[in-house]
Structure 1
Amino acid sequence: MGQTPSHEAVHASKAELTAHLADRFARKCYEPLELYSFKDNFRSLADREGDVRYLKEDTIARFLELPDILAVSPVVFHMLSFIGAFPFLRDAPVILSFEQMIMVVTIMTERYTKVLAKGATNRRKLLFKSLAVYDRKLSEIESRTPGSSTDPSQGHVRSHAPGFAVDQVGDDVGDDDAAADDDELVMAALDSLDINDAFITGDAHAATTRGAMIPADNFRRLIMLLLLTSPLSPHESLSAYADRFAGSALESLRATAENVLSAFIDVEKSPGITFAQFREVVPVSLPYIFNGLSPLFEHFLFSKNLDLSKRKDGIAAPAPAVLATPPLLQDKGQILNLDILSQLSFFIDGGDLFRRLRLLYSGADAGYSMGSFETKVFNWRAPTILLVSGTRLDSTASRRGSESVFCDSLPPQRFPNGSAPDRDRLVFGVFIRQPWRVTNKECFGSDDMLLFQLAPTHDVFPASKINKNYAAFTKPPAAHPGITFGSAPPPTSSSSRHAPLRHLGPVSLVLDSSFEFGVFNHDYTSRGGAFSTSVSRKLDFQERFSIDDIEVWGCGGDEEARIQRERWEWEAREAEARRRVNLGTGDIAADRALLEMAGLIGGNRSGGSMG
């Protein structure tokens, strides 16, 4: 089908234009086998009312195998009913007939980029609108607007129901000027239909973000679903991960979703997420959070009725050998579980995580010391993820012993805690692409590092390109040996009685050399140092904690593991060879020759008495 001339497109109905865009998506975004499977799935799933074939909420939930326990089906259906109206968002929500489902699957799987080149790299704003509801006043105004309610026989239903209304939602100041609310996807789609500017302006601004918000409970449910779908492949079903939303695993899933939700709002004070909050937090702290939607909706492109194993002669071809799929997480850790792994994939590429992480160091197994840390971690030549969990120190309790020594080494200025007092379990981490090394005067790392917090609040602090105090692994005789991120290496210990106080960078994480205590510092007023300040918590805060566990996970495959194993074996042989050197056997000449070869005696070095 050729492109409709502009003078004809202006007079075409919305239904004709939607059909035209759906046809273009179908032809250019799908392979013939995928389109055949999509049509077959739609025919087998659709209900019929008159001449209209459409998908219902429970049908979609059953096909995608959405877990009933999450109660996420209404949230997903609300999204799809909005996205199905694309690009004419004024008509949302719509009945999900064939053309509307083409829109849904194309946008959810991000295949639209093959057609909508102009401004089509970002679906974030459209997803927000599909999840958002509006305050009561705006809903009432829209319900009185001509065209907001249409005859169901025409394939449309009344726009945003008052049942979704919430009270007193603040506007997103500066976002919804008449010229500022252009939705890139909508504009690109209408442009591809060759519709004139006047018509674009009339419809593209119908669904704005003014007064819109995503209810906190709705988004919590969606986050739980996204945690499950993040490792999903197009051929996998959610039922394969049924053990992740049952029993105690469900509580872990809920707790992780709560931590992610707290990146946007304090649920005790706010009923929902505004577009300003969504727009600030997602690109920095959760850039990949919606990636799991793509494999989930790819399921529409695989038909169970299509049997490719049969040959033309009717004889079934031999089934290919099925290789066992390795688990998402090959090792068990004290901190990292499947939910935390999925949370990490919200801001670290899942290709570096799922089925590729290896536990290099665990304090619970190898001992809490820098020596065992160095032995286990330093030979890994690929990216690593350090995780540390702890319990917040009580600022009101009297300090004794090692806790007192640690706290006395910190600057006297202390910011308030970064989260509610009743949420005192803390989890921090660092993603490092460079190999670890001992530092003296200069830190290691690069500007692709990430410092982050996972609990009780999700937050990500990207590295700076200017300040290079990224990571330091400092041994004695440094004044304060340990592991630091975002702070300059500590100076060499002086001969004075009192060592200088620890230097805390504006945004920094410090672990003492005994792996007993740690501190995270966030000096927002400084505007950041080696790591950027939080985009959601625009305040000064500090977390002092006793360390419960430390883990380091290596990102890599079999080749990285082989290199590390060979290095460990070489070091073991060298240690054994040194242990077997036995001087003082009685052969003075032989012992002296060996010491001279080692450079320990000879010249002006006497080496001591051999007799």
Structure 2
Amino acid sequence: MGQALSDQSQPAPPSHEEVTKALANKFAEKCFTSLELYSLRDVFKSLADHEQNVRYLKEDTVARFLEIPDILGASAILFQMMSYIGAFPFLQDAPAVLGLEQTVMVITIMTERYRRVLAKGATDRRKLLFKSMAVYDRKLSAPSSDEEAADKKIADNADVKSDKSVADRKGGPSGFAIDEAGDEEDDDGEEENDELVLAAFDSLDYLDAFKYETTTPKTHGAAMVPADNFRKLIMLLLLIAPLDPQESLSLYSGRVSGAELESLRTTAECVLAAFLNVEQSPGIKFHQFNTIIPASMPFIFNGFTSLFEHFLFSKNIDFHKRIDGEPPREKPSLTAVQPLLQDSGSIMNLNVLSQLSFFIPGSSLFRRVRLLYSGDDDGFSMGSFETKVFHWRAPTILLVSGNRLSDDADYRSAGAESAFLATLPPKRFPSGTGDEAERITFGVYVSQPWKHTHRECFGGDDTLLFQLSPVHDVFRASSMNKDYVTFTKPSSSTNHAGISFGCPPPPPTHAYRRSSIISLGSVSLVLDSSFEFGCFTHDYTSRGGAFQTSAGRKSNFQDRFEVTNLEVWGCGGDEEAKHQAEHWAWEAREAEARRKINLGTGDIEADRALLEMAGLIGQNRSGGSMG
């Protein structure tokens, strides 16, 4: 009897609806200003449909408001994500009807404002985003080998009752695959609690009452993001990467038509290739998703912040309205806004710039990069490279693209190609991903100013070596090996001239010991001194050198290529550009002064004759001219 009385004295746990409302109110209070909250209510009221005393958002309404281009086909995927996240923290109830409280959940999580409330280790929304895109379909997870098939059969027999209980708990038919977000087991196969959900319950002091509901049921590889869905979402993420909170996405309509759309799709394919080979696998599993994103594209979802902050700016509120007594405020002119990319390049375009923002903060890229050097315009020589790049006092991005050299090339034959191949060690690894004749693009982010290499390399541990096509990949700098960047011009004191990343500096030349082979780093990129050829090496078995090995491609490969384009872009503002322009002007004045040599006689022809007799100019000399 005492036990029964004790049980009756315990208050009943709150319902799902009560917890959701309490959490939404807490998010609204802690994560939004009063003006933002007022705007959100006003926007929701103007957009919501009304049915049986319930106001909710529909897919086409959201797509029109956010101005998602129909041609991308991403509206349904984005709304699926919103419907799943709107059920937070009771994700098993997804998909949710997007009422005002659910919309608050979506905006708070998509803009990462939840960090202001959920501070107990819940700083990662990656698993939640994966679940919001994932589907549960055993046909999509068909094994690619007999061994995998046997493992899957054993697992299915062990968990058939568990799967049935999950279906019974949800009740009724499961519906279309796109409507149901799947569950995913962790790497060790153990059930895991979602930290983000646990932190939400803990913030409301409901952790004990609802902790059991956060347990993820074990399913063996059935949850995955379909490749076609993720491709469409990547195209949207590339498009919104430079978006400002109050900027209309329709301003970028030119990027989703004609050749620009094809370029956007091509860039998205390169990013998708980082996760899987679409010809061999139908979708992305959580292990791939959770491995690739932090290593190669940690900022890929940053565009969601500005996109969903559109809900916080109501058109019915005049933010430029002046207070009594204040002078009138001028509205910003669209014509005064700098373009996202001020210069045009052979490699760099808006889609490549957006791709770079997936692993380099967009605040350092959009409207801030300037073309310093272009091989097409300035000549493929280390001298012109030095003149254009060396005095830039901010980070730089080097981009190089080319065509793979055939493995059948004979280094013993005559020609520039054979001469370059003769300086490389024998090729032990196959070529990288892609067709033999496919264009490949590599790049390097260097935070320190460029300089000549003597006995040691330059660059810091924030240097990034990366590949943009045909596979997106990022190779981060090691903190142990400092052989980041070398710049060595041709001279009698060096064995191998050129630019290299991840290779040791060329040793001094000795008459009795001259090495004809370049010492390639485990993960490295080498360009010869004439910028005609390059070589990228990825020795996975060595576990990296100055740069770490790929997080996604656990194999050895080497790409030898003929350079077609080479560019260097400076990251920085007007101050860096002004300093560079002043230095170029000084060099121009110095060059002009050297051409106008004057011996003080006042007679240029007489001075020229004296210099010719001295053998300094004329007679095929290169001492300059006086004219």
Q: TM-score range by the shorter chain?
A: 0.7 to 0.9
From 344, 367, 374, give the equivalent of 1:362. 374
* Change in 2 beyond 3 A, CA 1:285/1:519: same
Superposed CA offset, 1:18-74 (max 9, x none)? 000001111111111111111111111111120211111111111111100001111
Counterparts of 2:497 and 2:37, CA distance in 1: 61
Contact 2:110 2:304 in 1 (8 A): yes
Contact 2:370 2:569 in 1 (8 A): yes
Matched, 1:420 2:434: yes
Look up the match of 2:101: 99
Look up the match of 2:352: 340
Contact 1:10 1:196 in 2 (8 A): no
> What are the residue-to-residue correspondences of 1:160-239 with 2, within 5 Å?
161-162=176-177, 174-178=187-191, 181-197=192-208, 199-205=210-216, 211-239=222-250
Look up the match of 2:77: 75
From 440, 457, 460, give the equivalent of 1:443. 457
Query: Does the residue aligned with 2:373 lie in a helix, a strand or coil?
Result: strand
Counterparts of 1:223 and 1:327, CA distance in 2: 22
Counterparts of 1:134 and 1:119, CA distance in 2: 28
Contact 2:498 2:526 in 1 (8 A): yes
Matched, 1:386 2:389: no
Shift of 1:306: 1.7
Counterparts of 1:336 and 1:9, CA distance in 2: 63
* Change in 2 beyond 3 A, CA 1:144/1:189: closer
Counterparts of 2:38 and 2:48, CA distance in 1: 15
Counterparts of 2:602 and 2:309, CA distance in 1: 78
Counterparts of 1:192 and 1:170, CA distance in 2: 25
Counterparts of 2:488 and 2:553, CA distance in 1: 30
Q: Which moved more, 1:525-534 or 1:117-126?
A: 117-126
Counterparts of 1:349 and 1:516, CA distance in 2: 31
Shift of 1:198: 5.5
Superposed CA offset, 1:459-478 (max 9, x none)? 00000111010000012231
Q: List alignment gaps of at least 5 residues for structure 1.
A: 1-6, 151-157, 592-611
Counterparts of 2:230 and 2:183, CA distance in 1: 18
Look up the match of 1:547: 563
* Change in 2 beyond 3 A, CA 1:91/1:8: farther
Counterparts of 2:196 and 2:70, CA distance in 1: 32
Shift of 1:121: 1.4
Look up the match of 1:571: 587
* Change in 2 beyond 3 A, CA 1:300/1:31: same
Matched, 1:493 2:502: no
Counterparts of 2:596 and 2:466, CA distance in 1: 46
TM-score computed with the length of structure 1 as normaliser: 0.88
Q: Which moved more, 1:194-203 or 1:423-432?
A: 194-203
TM-score computed with the length of structure 2 as normaliser: 0.86
Q: Which moved more, 1:86-95 or 1:8-17?
A: 8-17
* Change in 2 beyond 3 A, CA 1:105/1:164: closer
Shift of 1:205: 2.9
* Change in 2 beyond 3 A, CA 1:326/1:311: closer
Shift of 1:193: 1.6
Superposed CA offset, 1:472-530 (max 9, x none)? 00122311100000001122334369742011100000000000000000000000000
Q: Which moved more, 1:78-87 or 1:484-493?
A: 484-493
> What are the residue-to-residue correspondences of 1:295-306 with 2, within 5 Å?
295-306=306-317
Look up the match of 1:244: 255
Shift of 1:113: 1.1
Counterparts of 2:134 and 2:465, CA distance in 1: 30
Contact 1:83 1:104 in 2 (8 A): yes
> What are the residue-to-residue correspondences of 1:273-422 with 2, within 5 Å?
273-309=284-320, 319-322=330-333, 324-398=336-410, 400-421=414-435
Query: Does the residue aligned with 2:351 lie in a helix, a strand or coil?
Result: helix
Look up the match of 2:49: 47
Query: Does the residue aligned with 1:375 lie in a helix, a strand or coil?
Result: helix
Shift of 1:235: 0.7
Partner amino acid for 1:487?
C
Contact 1:93 1:159 in 2 (8 A): no
* Change in 2 beyond 3 A, CA 1:309/1:488: closer
Partner amino acid for 1:112?
Y
Partner amino acid for 2:472?
H
* Change in 2 beyond 3 A, CA 1:205/1:69: same
Shift of 1:559: 0.4
Query: Does the residue aligned with 1:521 lie in a helix, a strand or coil?
Result: strand
Counterparts of 1:533 and 1:116, CA distance in 2: 34
Matched, 1:11 2:13: yes
Q: CA RMSD in A?
A: 2.8
Shift of 1:397: 4.5
Identity percentage of aligned residues: 60
Superposed CA offset, 1:209-240 (max 9, x none)? 95311110000000000000100000111110
Contact 1:89 1:207 in 2 (8 A): no
Q: Which moved more, 1:199-208 or 1:414-423?
A: 199-208
Counterparts of 1:132 and 1:274, CA distance in 2: 9
* Change in 2 beyond 3 A, CA 1:54/1:170: closer
